[in-house]
Chains A and B, each alone.
Chain A
Amino acid sequence: MKKIRGRLFLVLFLSVVSFYLFLPSWPGLYDRIPESVRWLIPPRGVSLGLDLQGGIHLVLEVEEERAVEIAVDRAAKAMQDLLTDKEIAFDIIERVGSLQVQIELSKEGVVEESAELIRDEFPSYFQVSKGGRIFVVELLDSEVNRIKNAAINQALETIRNRIDQFGVTEPLLQRQGRTELVIQLPGVKDPERAKSLIQDTALLEFKMLDEDNQPGLGLPVQVKRSEESSIQEKFADQVPEGSEILFEPIPDPKGGPPVFSRPYLVQKNAVLTGDVLQDARVNYTEFSEVYVGVTFDSKGAKEFGRITSANVGKFMAIVLDGTVYSAPRINEPILGGRAQITGNFTTDEANDLAIVLRAGALPAPMKTIQDLTVGPSLGQDSIEKGLKTTLIAGLIVLIFMVIYYRMSGVIADMALVLNLLCLLGALSGLNATLTLPGIAGIILTIGMGVDSNILIFERIREELRQGRPVRLAVDAGYDKAFLTIVDSHVTTLITGLALFLFGTGPIKGFAVTLCLGIGINLFTALIGTKVVFDLINRRKLEQLSI
């Protein structure tokens, strides 16, 4: 008889909160209520998954030729490092066409030696021509195919990572044909943001400014963003070999999209790239400006330390997909393996940037082939049929409980409704995406809720059969069923948690509703119904309708 009123209040309070949280998920309600009171209810509720509602349908193509070129570029860079290491002077080493690297040495006589070095270090390249100071190597065909395939697989993985972190539950991601990826995103409110999140290459590079040549070039202090490419063309002849002009957008004072940008002359070769990143997180400066803090892995931290030590006093540009985000001066060697990317972001932009940096760069740019809205993958017809049948079947169970357990069955039914209400409220409050696997999770927990009540009632019946008075029988029934219910719920909860932590996509959707449902179940079964029985028992019943 411990404080019925307190528990009763708790049950009512939770029901009201759940109902309130559920309001935005009520189909059509949000649009029907007058605008003046709309602020009263939370703006977002449960959204339906791709299988139930449909979503954005994107078909993207991996530009695999570019992936090969990028790989060849990287090899050319590695060849430069190799020859520098071996102290063989060269004038230029660069990619020619898509597949070839041309090596031009500073003097004759070392061609044999360098060719051999490169043959040993780069077995996937074969020599096509040699003469004087110049020789050319080309990527093997088998290697070209391997790179193309790897690029597509990596693109698939990277995009999956990004979407997972973006918080869209249950996207569909599928390889179509050889180079195309089909991506369906359910209920995405801002398609443009989602698309840029998927398609940005997210190649992060740290490049040193070419401070020796910038002053002599006479670059304007700022240019219109629309004129960036014409500036690049205009200065093309004067830009020294190995350098390039990149731009940093200047934030618009009124908060709109940037109109002007600042040109920089930077060295083409990046001193460090984003593949040595370990983590990227959104952070705030003391002036509450948002920035993205990146952490390098051990190799990257060492390298970054070495570079910053060697270049104290110089400027380093942080470049993402060819755009300069900032170009700070290196004041002192940075040895901690951390760096900050500032650049006047909104919090959303910073979040997206952190996601793409964490998920890694795409191996090649992606081209949009199709961009449409699709209906549910389950098909509207099956959803309607399934919904109708489930409702009728649920009703049958409710009626069955009342027939079998009489008055107590009514209490169990109330618990069931409370259960469903709390679960939907919780899902709505979390803005979860509901899919069929999620609904399966709900069905399982509802089943467990019914089961809990049956367990308790059977126990109470046993006690009554042994001749206990009603109140004692109810208390004993609850006591004895308590451990069983806790044990069975906790074991299922363990499964749910493991699926939540290690599962992805549809499995996760199932796990979320299961875990929530189990917690709510424990509450309604052990407290919700008990308080009703206690309330009834205040009147010293001779018989219990069970």
Chain B
Amino acid sequence: MLEIIGKTNIDFMGKRHVAFGVSGLLVLLGLIALVQIGTGAANLGIDFAGGTAVQLKFENAIGIEQARQALSKHGLQDAELQEFTQDHKLLVRVKTEDTLEQKIAEKIVEVFQTEFSQNKFVIDSSTEIGPTIGHRLQQDALLAITISLIGIILYVATRFELRFGVAAAVATFHDVLAVLGLYYLLDKEITLLVVTALLTLAGYSLTDSVVVFDRIRENLRARRRETILNIINAGINQVLTRTLITTLTVVLVLVPLTIFGGEVLHDFSLALLLGVLIGTYSSVFVASPLLLIWPGGKGRLLSRST
């Protein structure tokens, strides 16, 4: 039997105050990012903010990879490239920069002139474009997220207890906010792909919390004489191997994808990677301790006879 760690008995709950401090900071960062996104001050991708589209028609075929590298070299690594199947055409979409001194369209043209001097091209069109994710789409997404949060709280509350449901939802929210905050801090662009990554990690984080809760519930029934604190600690320790191995397998996929996945997928994978690490941390240090600070009595699970 190959084992990463043996039987452990770590006092996770004892470190909850430190954890709450760290998490508080992460959530605060996330909230700041959220406000910045709301007011449009954050680094929003072209999907949300709109930008400039330039359509170029080249004389000879142009490799999309070379084009990306060329743009990247001149600070336009966030450009979205799309090939037309006819006539060696290339559609370049760049989000509007706040520096108006140099028009982005002119800059794109300049890049291609210097980097591909043998391949002549004409500008088919150059226009301002609006966001692909309109206002209604954003509202739909918010509605969907709110409803799923309520659904989760209700389900977990029926299967466990209300405090478990709220704790799982809070932990999930914590993870999403933390990644959002880190992305804001790193000045990463918030694109549609990053939002997808946030949704994915929400699913992951939820699973993680429920697995730990499940073990705590089992212990609550089996070891009725112990303190809640001990029971929670024991539960976390018992599933610790599973937690670590699962995280390890996910990390095994995400690290290569982050490093070698190409520029477009990099931000997506990085968000997932950060999210999985934070999700693992939060299931132990956020979701579980939250059960302790819930106001009121021992709750239904403790007084149940089965």
Q: Which residues of A contact B (CB under 8 A)?
A: 54, 57, 156-157, 160, 172-177, 180, 182, 372-382, 385-386, 389-390, 392-394, 396-397, 400-401, 403-406, 436-437, 440-441, 443-444, 447-448, 450-451, 454-455, 458, 461-462, 480, 483-484, 487-492, 494-499, 501-507, 510, 514, 546
Assembled-state Cα–Cα distance A372/B124 (Å): 13
Q: Which one of A380, A450, A495, A496 contacts B64 once the chains associate, using CB atoms below 8 Å? A: A380
What are 6 A-B pairs with beta-carbon distances under 8 A?
A393-B255, A454-B249, A483-B214, A498-B147, A507-B140, A546-B1
Q: Which one of A396, A448, A498 contacts B148 once the chains associate, using CB atoms below 8 Å? A: A498
B127 at the interface (CB under 8 A from A): yes
Specify which chain B residues have a CB less than 8 angstroms from the CB of A483 in the assembled complex: 214
Interface contact A396-B206, CB-CB below 8 Å: no
Interface contact A488-B206, CB-CB below 8 Å: yes
B36 at the interface (CB under 8 A from A): no
Assembled-state Cα–Cα distance A378/B155 (Å): 37
Interface contact A443-B253, CB-CB below 8 Å: yes
Name the prevailing secondary structure of the B interface residues. helix
Whole-angstrom distance between the Cβ of A515 and the nearest chain B Cβ: 11
Q: Given A373-B84, A492-B203 in contact, is the A379-B64 Cβ separation under 8 Å? A: yes
Interfacial residues of chain B within 139-179, with CB under 8 A of chain A in the complex: 140-141, 143-145, 147-148, 151-152, 155-156, 159, 168
Interface contact A401-B265, CB-CB below 8 Å: no
Interface contact B130-A174, CB-CB below 8 Å: yes
Q: Given A173-B132, A374-B83, A487-B210 in contact, is the A389-B245 Cβ separation under 8 Å? A: no
B120 at the interface (CB under 8 A from A): no
Interface contact B144-A498, CB-CB below 8 Å: yes
Specify which chain A residues have a CB less than 8 angstroms from the CB of B253 in the assembled complex: 390, 393-394, 396-397, 443, 447
Specify which chain B residues have a CB less than 8 angstroms from the CB of A546 in the assembled complex: 1
Interface contact A458-B85, CB-CB below 8 Å: no
Interface centre among B63, B199, B246, B264 (most CB of A within 10 A): B199
Specify which chain A residues have a CB less than 8 angstroms from the CB of B202 in the assembled complex: 495
Q: Given A386-B257, A487-B214 in contact, is the A454-B206 Cβ separation under 8 Å? A: no
Interface contact A454-B127, CB-CB below 8 Å: no
B106 at the interface (CB under 8 A from A): no
**CB-nearest residue of chain B to A369:** B125
Interface contact B128-A507, CB-CB below 8 Å: no
Interface contact B68-A174, CB-CB below 8 Å: no
A-B contact count (CB 8 A): 236
Q: Which one of B81, B148, B249 contacts A495 once the chains associate, using CB atoms below 8 Å? A: B148
Whole-angstrom distance between the Cβ of A510 and the nearest chain B Cβ: 6
Specify which chain A residues have a CB less than 8 angstroms from the CB of B242 in the assembled complex: 451, 454-455, 458
Number of interface residues of B (CB under 8 A): 80
Assembled-state Cα–Cα distance A376/B248 (Å): 32
Interface contact B131-A404, CB-CB below 8 Å: no
Specify which chain A residues have a CB less than 8 angstroms from the CB of B264 in the assembled complex: 378-379, 382, 386
Q: Given A160-B134, A491-B210 in contact, is the A372-B84 Cβ separation under 8 Å? A: yes
Q: Which one of A403, A443, A448, A502 contacts B143 once the chains associate, using CB atoms below 8 Å? A: A502
Q: Given A488-B211, A504-B140 in contact, is the A436-B206 Cβ separation under 8 Å? A: no
Specify which chain B residues have a CB less than 8 angstroms from the CB of A57 in the assembled complex: 84
Interface contact A176-B128, CB-CB below 8 Å: yes
Assembled-state Cα–Cα distance A246/B293 (Å): 75
Whole-angstrom distance between the Cβ of A94 and the nearest chain B Cβ: 36
Q: Given A385-B260, A389-B256 in contact, is the A490-B144 Cβ separation under 8 Å? A: no
Specify which chain B residues have a CB less than 8 angstroms from the CB of A496 in the assembled complex: 203
**CB-nearest residue of chain A to B266:** A382
Interface segment, one of B8-16, B24-32, B189-197: B189-197
Specify which chain A residues have a CB less than 8 angstroms from the CB of B188 in the assembled complex: none
B82 at the interface (CB under 8 A from A): yes
Q: Given A394-B253, A492-B203, A494-B155 in contact, is the A381-B129 Cβ separation under 8 Å? A: no
Q: Given A393-B256, A444-B204, A495-B202 in contact, is the A503-B84 Cβ separation under 8 Å? A: no
Q: Given A450-B246, A450-B249, A494-B155 in contact, is the A499-B144 Cβ separation under 8 Å? A: yes
Interface contact A373-B86, CB-CB below 8 Å: yes
B80 at the interface (CB under 8 A from A): yes
**CB-nearest residue of chain B to A462:** B238
Specify which chain A residues have a CB less than 8 angstroms from the CB of B152 in the assembled complex: 491, 494-495
Q: Which one of A373, A462, A502 contacts B140 once the chains associate, using CB atoms below 8 Å? A: A502
Q: Which residues of B contact A (CB under 8 A)?
A: 1-2, 50, 53, 63-65, 68, 80-86, 89, 91, 127-134, 136-137, 140-141, 143-145, 147-148, 151-152, 155-156, 159, 168, 192-193, 196-197, 199-200, 202-204, 206-207, 210-211, 213-215, 218, 238-239, 241-242, 245-246, 248-250, 252-257, 260-265, 268, 272
Specify which chain A residues have a CB less than 8 angstroms from the CB of B53 in the assembled complex: 176, 182
Specify which chain B residues have a CB less than 8 angstroms from the CB of A506 in the assembled complex: 192, 196
Whole-angstrom distance between the Cβ of A242 and the nearest chain B Cβ: 40
Assembled-state Cα–Cα distance A380/B64 (Å): 7
Interface contact B82-A174, CB-CB below 8 Å: no
Specify which chain A residues have a CB less than 8 angstroms from the CB of B133 in the assembled complex: 505
Whole-angstrom distance between the Cβ of A160 and the nearest chain B Cβ: 7
Interface contact A382-B263, CB-CB below 8 Å: yes
Interface contact B246-A454, CB-CB below 8 Å: yes
Interface contact A377-B82, CB-CB below 8 Å: yes
Assembled-state Cα–Cα distance A454/B53 (Å): 48
Interface contact B265-A385, CB-CB below 8 Å: yes
Assembled-state Cα–Cα distance A313/B136 (Å): 46
Q: Which one of B86, B204, B252 contacts A400 once the chains associate, using CB atoms below 8 Å? A: B252
Interface contact A375-B144, CB-CB below 8 Å: no
Interface contact A484-B215, CB-CB below 8 Å: yes
Whole-angstrom distance between the Cβ of B242 and the nearest chain A Cβ: 5
Specify which chain B residues have a CB less than 8 angstroms from the CB of A484 in the assembled complex: 210-211, 214-215
Interface contact B130-A374, CB-CB below 8 Å: no
Whole-angstrom distance between the Cβ of A371 and the nearest chain B Cβ: 11
Interface contact A176-B246, CB-CB below 8 Å: no
Interface contact B129-A389, CB-CB below 8 Å: no
Interface contact B129-A176, CB-CB below 8 Å: yes
Interface contact A380-B249, CB-CB below 8 Å: no
Interface centre among A372, A403, A462, A480 (most CB of B within 10 A): A372
Whole-angstrom distance between the Cβ of B222 and the nearest chain A Cβ: 11
Interface contact A177-B127, CB-CB below 8 Å: yes
Specify which chain B residues have a CB less than 8 angstroms from the CB of A480 in the assembled complex: 218
**CB-nearest residue of chain A to B79:** A379
Whole-angstrom distance between the Cβ of A478 and the nearest chain B Cβ: 14
Q: A174-B129, A394-B253, A501-B144 are in contact. List 17 more A-B contacts (CB 8 A).
A: A174-B132, A175-B131, A176-B53, A381-B63, A392-B256, A400-B249, A437-B196, A444-B200, A450-B246, A451-B249, A455-B242, A488-B210, A490-B155, A492-B207, A495-B151, A499-B144, A502-B144
Q: Which one of A374, A386, A405, A492 contacts B261 once the chains associate, using CB atoms below 8 Å? A: A386
Interface contact A487-B196, CB-CB below 8 Å: no
Whole-angstrom distance between the Cβ of A189 and the nearest chain B Cβ: 16
Assembled-state Cα–Cα distance A501/B148 (Å): 10
**CB-nearest residue of chain B to A181:** B130
Interface contact B207-A177, CB-CB below 8 Å: no
Assembled-state Cα–Cα distance A398/B145 (Å): 33
Interface contact B257-A176, CB-CB below 8 Å: no
Pairs of residues from A and B, 3 with the lowest C-beta to C-beta distance, nearest first:
A175-B130, A498-B148, A375-B83
Interface contact A502-B147, CB-CB below 8 Å: yes
Whole-angstrom distance between the Cβ of A163 and the nearest chain B Cβ: 12
Specify which chain A residues have a CB less than 8 angstroms from the CB of B263 in the assembled complex: 382
Q: Which one of B83, B143, B256 contacts A380 once the chains associate, using CB atoms below 8 Å? A: B83
Assembled-state Cα–Cα distance A480/B143 (Å): 36
Whole-angstrom distance between the Cβ of A71 and the nearest chain B Cβ: 23
Q: Given A54-B85, A386-B261, A443-B200 in contact, is the A396-B144 Cβ separation under 8 Å? A: no
